[in-house]
Amino acid sequence: MSALAARIGQDEVTKLFAAALHRDFGHLKAPIPAIAAAANGNDRAAKNWWEGKNAPLLLNALRLATKAPSVASLMQWLMTVEGEPGRTEQIIRQLGTLDPESDDPDRQMTFFAGQWVRP
């Protein structure tokens, strides 16, 4: 079986990026400009990513990954995890419940070597 990224569709990737952006920037009063700045992109593109209309281009995604832990985890997860497409909602729930900086030990998970692990 190959990595999920080789078999997942564009719509699923778009939803996953939007969920990761909401996870990392949702607490901000003005998330769109912050996303645009992190990706070295423009507000219009950032708004489209935020709303799940399309996913960032590779260079923008790489830049976002350096500022947004959920985006970095998502990208690593897509490249390494073997799984079945169509499980977008489950992945979004996982992104929303795992937090390496949480005080709750059940949520202190991080993505390492292709799997979620406790630090």
Q: Identify which has the larger pLDDT, 103 or 77.
A: 77
Angle of helix 88-97 relative to helix 69-80, nearest 10 degrees, comes to 140
State the Cα–Cα distance between residues 39 and 23, nearest whole angstrom: 16
Q: How confident is the model at residue 114 (pLDDT cuts 50, 70, 90)?
A: very low
Task: End-to-end CA distance of the chain: give it in Å, rounded.
Answer: 28
| Cα 114 off chain centre by | 15
Q: What is the pLDDT of residue 112?
A: 44
* Phi (first) and psi of residue 40, to 5 degrees: 55, 45
Q: Which residues fall within 8 angstroms of residue 112, CB to CB, at 6 or more apart?
A: none
**Domain 4-92, what fold?**
434 Repressor (Amino-terminal Domain) (1.10.260)
Q: What is the pLDDT of residue 88?
A: 55
pTM over 0.75: no
